[in-house]
Chain A
Amino acid sequence: MSAVLERPSARDQAGTKPAVKLPEHIVEVISDSGEGAQRCGQAFASIAARSGNGIWTVEIIPAEIQPPARSVAGASGIRIRVGSKHVNNGGDETDLVVAFNEQVLLGRVRAGELKQGATILLENIWAEHRDPAVVKSYTEAVKALKESGFRVIDLPLEKECRSLMSDPRRGKNMFVLGVLASIYSLDLQLARDQIALTFGKKDQKVIDSNVRLMEAGFAWGEANLDFKYEIPAEKASVPQIVVNGNTAIALGVIASGMDICAMYPITPATSASHYLSECFEKVGGIVHQAEDEIAACAFAIGASYAGRCAVTITSGPGYSLKQEGIGLAVMAEIPLVVVNVQRGGPSTGQPTKVEQADLLTSIYGSHGDAPKVVLAATSIEDCFYSMITARKIAETFNMVVVVLTDASLATAQQPFARPTFNEEWLAPPIDQSPLPAGAKPYDWDKTTGIARRFSPGQPNGMHTVTGLAHDRASKVAYDPIINEEGLRMRSLKLATLQKTLKTPPVFGDPEGDLLVVGWGSTQGVIEEAVQRLRDEGLKVSALQMRFIQPMPSGIKDILKRFRKVMTVEGTWADRPHEDEMIDEENRRYAPLAMMLRARTLVDVDCWTEAKGQPIKPGQVVQALRAKLAE
C-alpha cells in the first residue's frame, strides 16, 4: 500500500478512528470526462440523503463529450454539500476533493473553488507514468499544492482497482465512493443498496463488481486514512424525493396534466425531456422531438389550440428561436407553457454553465406588445410546483407562461417533501360542448380581459384564429379602435392575474438597513448569506421574487421600509466602481433591479456575478457588507 502523506500512523483496524463531528462539509469528485466522477458523487449524495443529511449537488460539466484527457477544460465532476440540516444551495468553497489527475484539479484550484487548506486525495499513478512530462507535471503540481497549504494525500486508485477490474479506469469511481463512505462514516449497507439502484438496469455481475470496488475503497480508507468525519443526520419525518431541477420540471409536467411536450435538444434543458421520454407515455403523454426549436414551439401551439395545453422546454438560444411563435400564442390567446432553463449567453455562450440573464427577454420578448406571464422557480421543489401553476394560469387566462429555471437548478439535487397528488392539478377535459349560436371566440370580459376559450370540435364555434389584429369574432381588422381593444384586453389579463398573487414573504425583519432582492434559483444562497449577517446582529433581510411578470402587489411597501435595497443576480451588470466609463447616466443595471426601479421608483442597486458558477453565500456576504458600509 502506498504511503499516505502527512499521516502520523496507519491504522489497520477498521472503525477504530474517532470520527470528528461536523455540521457540514463540501466534497468534490473530479475526473476526466467518462471516468464516472458524477456517478460516484451522485451515489455519495444519495447515500447521505438516505442517511437523513441535507444535500445539494452541483455538477461540473465540460462542454464537450470527450474533451482531451488530463486537461483543465476537460474537468468533469460533481460537488456535494452535505449538512446536518436542510441545505438549500451549493455553499462556499470545497473542503475535501478527490481528483483523478492533477490537471482537472488545477482548474478548480485556479478558479478559487477550494477552501484554504482543503484536503485533496489525488490519484498517484501519475508519479510512475512512462511519459516523463506527465511525471513532472504531477510532481510539480503536488509540490505547489502543498506549498499553498493544501493537505495532499496520495490515493493509489488505479493500483488498488487493478486487482479488481480488468480495466481499472472503469472502476475507480466506485472505489472512491467507498473511500468517501469511510471518511464520512456512511452506512455500508446503504452504499451497497445505492449501487444496486445506480446499476439497476444492468445485470447482477455489474452490481457485484461495483459493490466489491466500493468495499475495497472503504477498507482502504479505514486502513490508511488517519481522519474520519461524521455529519450527524436527522431523519426527515415525511417521505422525501431526491431529484434535480430538470427531473422536477418533468414530474411537474406530468402532475399538471399536460400531455404533449414538444422540444428540440439543447443543453442544459434536454435532460428534462430525456426523463419525460422515459416515463411520459406510461401516463398517455408524448415527447415530440421536433426538427428545430421553432417547430417545437409551433407544434406545442397547435396542440394547445386543439384543446390540450402543451409545453415546450428549451434554453437560451432555443428560447430566442421561439420568439415569433410565442408572439403568435400571445396574439391568438392560445395557452402555452414555455420552460427556459437559462444558461450562459449571449449566443452559444456557456452551454453548461449557470446564468440568470434572460429575465427581460422573457418579459419583453417577441415583437410588439406581447404580455405574457413570467415566473422563476426558486428551488428544485418549486420547479415541480411551478409547472402545475404555469399550466393552470395558461389555461385560465389563455396566456403564454414562461417558467425560468437555470443550469444551477437543472442539475442540482436536493431532497424535498414527496408531493401528494391532487386531482385539481390536472387540466379539465377538452370542452366539446356546443357553443351558443353567435358566440364569439374573443368575447373579452371588459373587466378581466378574459374570453372563453373555443376548441375545435365545438359546434357553433367555428372561426379562424390569426396572428393578425382581429375583432371579437376573430375577423381580421385593421381598425384603430379594434386594434387598441385587443391590446387592452391582452394586457388586462396580466392585471387580473396580478390581483390574485400574494405578496412574497420577507426573510428576516420587515424593516432594516438593507433588503436583498433576488429572483429564481438564488433564494437559498441569498437567504443563507442574509442569515449569516443577521446572526451577527446586522439588520439585513431578503425578498425572493417568483412572479416577476406580473409583479405581486406590496413590493414597493416592502422596499420602502429599508434604508438600502440591492438585488443579487446571476448576470452581468455594469460596475461603476470598477470601470471608469460607467456612471449613473450610462450604467446598465441588472434586469430585476431595472424592473424594481421602474415599478417602485426606489433607488435599487444591484450586485451581480456571471462567472458561470452558482453564486456562493460567502460572496454574497461580502457584497452585502460592502453595501452596508457604503
Chain B
Amino acid sequence: MGSALSQFIMKLHEEHRSLEDYQGGIPRWCSGCGDNAILTAVQRLCRDENLAPERTVFVSGIGCSSRFPHYMKTYGFHGIHGRAFPIAQGVKMARPDLAVFVNTGDGDCCSIGAAHWIHAIRYNMNLTVILHDNQIYGLTKKQASPTSQIGTKSNTTPRGSVLEAMNPLTVTLGVQNASFVAQGVDWMPEVLYDIIARAYRHRGFSFVRIIQRCPEWLPKTFEAWVHDPGKTLLLTHANGLTPSAETSRIYKNQREHDPLDIHQAREIASSVDPIPVGILYHNPSVPCYEDLRGAGAPRTAEAIRAGLDREFDKFTIWPDEAREPRAA
C-alpha cells in the first residue's frame, strides 16, 4: 500500500482528461459552420474543468445546433424540436449532481420553444445554455427564423422577410429571474471560450447567445463584422471578461461594463451594430429552482411507508371504533 499522498496523486493522474475524452462522433456540420467553433470551445472547457464524462449531460432540441450531443463523448439527449429546456430541467431536477448543458438554435429556442425559454429563465435552474444563433433554419433548408434580419431572403420569404428580428438578449434580460446573459461570436474563439467558461461556472441559468455563421444559407451575413473588428463592442470588467493583450490589440472598440448593472446590460443588449461581445449580465444571487424545490425529505422505503400510512390515516375507517381518529 502506498501512502495516502501517492494514492491521491495517482488518482489525480487517473482523472486527468484530454480533449479526446470528450470527442464523440465526427461532426457532420458543413465546413465553415460556426457550430464547429462552439464544439471546440466546449470540449476545451470540459477538459479544463476536468468534467467526468459520465456525469455530464448535453441536452438539445432539433436543428443543426442540436446535433451537438452526438459529437460529445458524454451522456447526451437529442430531444424534440423546442423542448430541450424542459427535458434538461427534468434531468437536473432528478439529478442535481450532474453537469447539464443545453444546446439550442434560433428556431428551437426562439420560435417553437419560446414558451419554454421564457420559463426556463424564470426557473433559473443550474444549466449552461448555448443558443447557436445563425439567424436561419439550416436543417430544413433555409427558412427565415425569428432572429433573421429584416429583408432576409429565404425559401419562405423569397422577397425578403418582413418582420424585425427578435433580439434574444433583450428578451432574456426582460424576464424576471435572469441571472446570466452573455454573447459571443464564432469568429472570436478565445473570447468565446472565456464566455462559455464563465457561463459554466455561474450557478443558475447561464444563457449564452452565440452568433454563428451559416456558410451554406447565409454566407455573407456577418462578413462586415468578421472583417471589421471595430464593428464589435467588447465588454470588459473585472467581474466580467478581461481580454488578453492580443485580443485587445485587434478589438479596440471596448466598453467597461459591470455585469451587475441590468439597466446598462439592457441598453447594450439592444445594439445590433456594433455587436456586443462579453458578459452582459451576471447576478450570482438568484436562487435556483432545484434548490428551492429539491430539499425534500429523505427517500427511504421507511419514510415512504410512514408517509403513506400518515396519509391513509386521514381517510381510514377502522372496524374497531376505539381507533377511529377523533379530531380535536
Contacts and interface: CB of A to CB of B under 8 A. Distances in A.
A239 B90 contact: no
A296 B85 CA distance: 11
Given A302-B89, A426-B301, A464-B78, 18 more contacts: A49-B317, A279-B311, A281-B297, A283-B303, A290-B86, A291-B86, A295-B85, A295-B116, A295-B119, A302-B91, A304-B94, A306-B57, A310-B90, A328-B80, A418-B312, A421-B308, A459-B54, A462-B74
Interface stretch (A130-138, A152-160, A257-265): A257-265
B226 interface: no
B304 A240 contact: no
A457 B74 CA distance: 10
A257 B299 CA distance: 9
Interface stretch (B38-46, B244-252, B275-283, B318-326): B318-326
A283 B119 contact: no
Interface in B20-71: 24-25, 53-55, 57-59, 69-70
B307 interface: yes
Contacts, number: 211
B2 interface: no
A426 B300 CA distance: 10
Contacts of A476: 70
Contacts of A257: 304
23 contacts: A50-B324, A197-B325, A200-B327, A235-B319, A236-B319, A251-B308, A255-B304, A281-B296, A284-B304, A286-B93, A286-B293, A294-B116, A295-B86, A298-B90, A302-B86, A302-B87, A302-B94, A303-B90, A421-B308, A457-B55, A462-B54, A465-B76, A467-B78
Contacts of B305: 421, 423
Contacts of B53: 462
Contacts of A279: 307, 310-311
A268 B78 CA distance: 33
| Binding site secondary structure of chain A | mixed
Given A239-B319, A301-B90, A459-B54, A464 B70 contact: yes
Contacts of B299: 259, 283-285
B100 to A, nearest CB: 9
A463 B294 CA distance: 27
Contacts of B315: 241-243, 247
Given A285-B296, A457-B54, A457-B95, A299 B89 contact: yes
A282 B327 contact: no
B86 A298 contact: yes
B8 interface: no
A305 interface: yes
A464 B296 contact: no
Contact of B77 (A239, A251, A296, A465): A465
A196 interface: yes
A210 to B, nearest CB: 12
A475 B25 contact: yes
A245 interface: no
Contacts of A288: 89, 93, 293
A307 interface: yes
B319 A238 contact: yes
- Residue among A49, A294, A415 with most chain B CB within 10 A: A294
Contacts of B85: 295
Interface centre among A200, A247, A291, A476 (most CB of B within 10 A): A291
A299 B79 contact: no
B86 A237 contact: no
Contacts of B58: 464
A324 interface: yes
A307 B92 CA distance: 11
A307 B24 CA distance: 23
A308 interface: yes
Given A302-B86, A328-B79, A282 B319 contact: no
B165 interface: no
Interface residues of B, number: 64
B90 A456 contact: no
A530 B95 CA distance: 51
The residue among A307, A310, A466 with the most chain B CB atoms within 10 A of its own CB is: A466
A206 B308 CA distance: 29
B296 A284 contact: yes
Contact of B308 (A49, A236, A254, A465): A254
B54 to A, nearest CB: 5
**8 closest cross-chain pairs (CB), A and B:** A302-B90, A464-B76, A283-B307, A298-B86, A196-B327, A284-B299, A303-B90, A295-B86
Nearest to A294: B83
Interface of B: 24-25, 53-55, 57-59, 69-70, 72-80, 83, 85-95, 97-98, 115-116, 118-119, 293-294, 296-299, 301, 303-305, 307-312, 315-319, 323-328
A399 interface: no
A297 B85 CA distance: 12
A301 B119 contact: no
A235 B324 CA distance: 13
Nearest to A461: B54
A468 B69 CA distance: 13
A432 B286 CA distance: 31
A270 interface: no
A36 interface: no
A203 B206 CA distance: 47
Contacts of A239: 316-319, 323
Given A288-B93, A288-B293, A462-B73, A241 B57 contact: no
Contacts of A197: 325, 327
B308 A283 contact: yes
Contacts of B77: 302, 305, 464-465
Nearest to B97: A457
Contact of A283 (B69, B78, B91, B304): B304
A232 B137 CA distance: 72
Contacts of B323: 239
A458 interface: yes
A421 B300 CA distance: 13
A300 interface: yes
A193 interface: yes
A460 interface: yes
Contact of B70 (A236, A301, A466): A466
Nearest to B75: A456
Contacts of A415: 317
Contact of B80 (A282, A325, A456): A325
B327 A295 contact: no
Contact of B75 (A193, A426, A461): A461
A328 B76 CA distance: 14
A35 interface: no
A292 interface: yes
B54 A306 contact: no
A257 B303 CA distance: 11
A431 to B, nearest CB: 12
A554 interface: no
Contacts of A23: none
Given A239-B316, A288-B293, A466-B70, A299 B57 contact: no
A284 B298 contact: yes
A242 B317 contact: yes
A419 interface: yes
A83 to B, nearest CB: 15
A291 B115 contact: yes
A46 to B, nearest CB: 8
Given A193-B326, A294-B86, A50 B79 contact: no
Contacts of A465: 76-78
Contacts of A303: 90-91, 93-94
A305 B301 contact: no
Nearest to B22: A462
Among A235, A458, A464, A465, find the residue whose CB has the most chain B CB atoms closer than 10 A. Answer: A464
B326 A463 contact: no
Contacts of A49: 317
B209 to A, nearest CB: 21
A306 B304 contact: no
A241 B90 contact: no
Nearest to A243: B315
